[in-house]
Structure 1
Amino acid sequence: MLLNYNNMLLIIIYLTVIATAIYGQIPKADSNLKFATVLFRHGDRASSFTYKTNPYPDAFPEGPYELTKLGKQHMYVKGQIFRHLYDGYLSKLYLDNEIYTKTTNVARTHMTAAMVLTGLYPPTNYQKWSNQETIWQPIPVYGGSPDHGDAQVKNCPSFLPTFIKGASASLTGNASLALEPLLSYLSEQCGQPIDIRNLFSLFDLFTCQLAAGLELPEWTKPNIYEQLKAIMISEDQRKNFNGNTKLQNLMIGPLLKEITLKIQQKSSGDEKRKIYMYSGHDFSILFTTAVLGHLIETPKFGASLHFHVYRFNNTDEDVIKVYYLKSWDDDKGEELSISNCNSPCKVADFINIANNKFTKTWEEECHT
């Protein structure tokens, strides 16, 4: 039976929608995957800020910046998502020669890494070590990640002024004057002065409270949170902050160097492990994606960035693809293009781009 024009058009539209839906999603690991590096943000945490009229002064008993109970639960699920993505590529048994996990030197990233590994490697068969049912087994997490995404950079004189300048550049002059009515309202409702310096901290507190399922105070309705978010993710803010090359180098320059080195070593056959994982921060992902050419908004808790090295058409040239999972429960993700690299991006080209991104070493950047 011949299809009429309208039916043909509907079929074409349907197939186009299906193709669009699946294009760019992170694929489940197969025999073509040669190496993976995964950078993830820690799970839900407490804020370090409060204000006099805060209706939830005891909402986070863990303490400032610490991983919450919900954060632990979410990152356990994140590990299960990793198991789904990499099952078959990684053994179901934890094998030290397959995986290496590093973290920055704060409690919330250490604990996050532990929860992710618990979800990724539930003890099975031989590795069931307890007579009682358990979902946990001891898996090493190594400190010393070269990631400075926690913004606690020591022995680096230029970091703090560069950070402050980048964060506040879009909130000076006329932009600052335009904020005065909002700051006045916030100060009145919070029972204490709110200015540009602690505006970011107030937004962070609201974000942590919302993530914990708490309802913001009545005075924030209908759109105070949305107003604050618009300020934090404005195009100018992202250009001045995410797009600041000096800040990129100070934050993630050494991390990018290590990721690139591991990819190069795997491609040349010198690296034997299958996957490296880095437990980091929102800034870790924010500035790494900026280096790739994407000025994204602040990553959510549990977001992850995946660098995949693939064998290319049975040739000696490996290619690299990068995928971004936007939150702890995102199991689809999206593929990110790599700036100045043709698609498919050859590993050799990626390494050249990454190694030439910064004209100064991290140490030189710190002292200029």
Structure 2
Amino acid sequence: MGSKGNKSSVLRSCKSHQKGAFLTVILLLIFFVATACVGFLLMNSSPRVESSVRFVSILHRHGERAPILTYPLDPYKDAAFWADGPEQLLQEGKVTTYDLGQFLRERYGGFLSSRYKAHEILMRSSRIDRCLMSAELVLAGLYPPVGTQIWNKDLPWQPIPVQTAPDDADDIIRVLKPCPLMSKEQEIVNDAIQKKLDENKDLLTYISKSTGLQVETIQNIDDIHDNLLISEQRGFKVPEWAREIYPKKLQELAAINYFQLYDTPLLRKLRSGILINDILDSMWKKINASEKFERRMNIFSAHDTTLGRLWQAIDISEDLGLEKPIYGSALIFELHETSTSKYRVKILYKRGMLDRDMTVLHIKGCEGDPMAHQDGMCDLDTFSSALEPKAFSDYDKECKIP
């Protein structure tokens, strides 16, 4: 009886060990699969930049904001819907731009110092509140304080300067500095836009009656479309009157204000020439041994119009369609040095917060580069030759201001 009991006990023990071993194997498999999945997701969510990178220029749109205007019959015009006021950065916008900063830290963590160093980075911004706030949030995500930079253990943030200029001196982001030549050229485009408005008089009358706002300009239409789009994105119901014309018809007309307002070669150059020059100049300074240029990154906190104008001005082959760059989108210009000491430029587009892989873009002036189909880049000399006719450094001279 004792012998049988011992055998039974041993069998139970063996089965228990086998069961335990089996569970251990299963758990290990789950662990390794989970680890592999997480690693895959991390690898694809924010691919590290190649070690060949030497300089980076980034132009990003601010985060989500409240509508620029409400209209008299707007069901959501009450301040309760937009607590911080028109045009101001929303909570979602703060998340979006802080995340952009973290994304840049993940991508360029091996290129930028972990500590903020003033000589390594320059942040410039439009003077508009939402851009200034977005700039601060990007920097907060990019440079959390480390070591002796931690001044408050309960606040993972440190002050980092953001440069800006008043509207009448801004020749690089909003480009509102007076330019008589630009104003004269704009009249040509305005005539074409007015013709389009005349073709849609009945629609303008319908929108005016439905909104209580006198809709007469393409900017009015863009503002109404902007209001409806943001309200819808916030989960608000689209008003009954708008359902026949929103989004398609209104988007088509609003796109005129965005894509055609500066659509002549001269306007493109005047609106983006200083910015293009800054991108090129920084790259050449970086590789010029006689220049003591320690900076590694320039960031511009800007608007959808800034990105769109630059996109058009440098002749990016990929088409935006009717879509404006969404909140938190970024155009990134990377300068790389090859193993043979050649310099090449990569252009990337990050379409908002959820885009972790980014799209490699190409400019038409680089179509003849034999290596472009292999590395997605363009030879710096070729890149410069394509862009230099569109760049300038003296705004007043280019605008023919005496």
Query: Using the alignment, how far apart are the partners of 2:200 and 2:229 within structure 1?
Result: 20
2:187 aligned with 1:154, yes or no?
no
Contact 1:53 1:189 in 2 (8 A): yes
Corresponding position of 1:252? 272
Query: Using the alignment, how far apart are the partners of 1:360 and 1:147 within structure 2?
Result: 10
Deviation string 1:13-61 (CA, Å, 9 cap, x unpaired) is xxxxxxxxxxxx9952131111111111111223332211111112334
Moved more, 220-229 or 113-122: 220-229
Corresponding position of 1:12? none
Query: Using the alignment, how far apart are the partners of 2:341 and 2:170 within structure 1?
Result: 30
Contact 1:28 1:84 in 2 (8 A): yes
Name whichever structure is richer in helix by fraction.
2
Corresponding position of 2:61? 41
2:141 aligned with 1:108, yes or no?
no
Shift of 1:346: 1.3
Structure 1 residues 188-267: aligned runs within 5 Å: 188-197=209-218, 198-221=220-243, 223-233=245-255, 238=259, 240-241=260-261, 243-267=263-287
Cα pair distance change 1:69/1:237, threshold 3 Å: closer
Of the two, which has the highest radius of gyration?
2
Contact 2:132 2:162 in 1 (8 A): yes
The letter for the 2-side match of 1:267 is I
Q: Report SS of the residue matched to 2:51.
A: coil
Corresponding position of 2:295? 273
CA RMSD of aligned residues (A): 2.8
Shift of 1:163: 4.4
Cα pair distance change 1:164/1:203, threshold 3 Å: farther
Contact 2:98 2:138 in 1 (8 A): yes
> Taking structure 1 as the reference length, what is the TM-score of the superposition?
0.82
Query: Using the alignment, how far apart are the partners of 1:359 and 1:43 within structure 2?
Result: 29
Corresponding position of 1:287? 309
Cα pair distance change 1:192/1:149, threshold 3 Å: same
Shift of 1:367: 4.0
Shift of 1:161: 5.2
The letter for the 2-side match of 1:118 is A
Shift of 1:302: 1.3
Runs (4+) of structure 1 moved beyond 6 Å?
A: none
Matched positions, count: 337
- Alignment gaps of 5+ in structure 1: 1-24
Moved more, 119-128 or 50-59: 119-128
The letter for the 2-side match of 1:248 is R
Corresponding position of 1:182? 203
Deviation string 1:273-292 (CA, Å, 9 cap, x unpaired) is 22111111112111111122
Corresponding position of 1:6? none
Moved more, 179-188 or 32-41: 179-188
Corresponding position of 2:385? 352
Deviation string 1:120-142 (CA, Å, 9 cap, x unpaired) is 122233322113x2231111222
> Taking structure 2 as the reference length, what is the TM-score of the superposition?
0.75
Moved more, 216-225 or 38-47: 216-225
The letter for the 2-side match of 1:46 is A
The letter for the 2-side match of 1:55 is P
Corresponding position of 1:333? 358
Shift of 1:195: 2.6
Q: Report SS of the residue matched to 1:80.
A: helix
Contact 1:231 1:237 in 2 (8 A): no
Q: Report SS of the residue matched to 1:306.
A: strand
Shift of 1:258: 1.3
Cα pair distance change 1:77/1:237, threshold 3 Å: closer
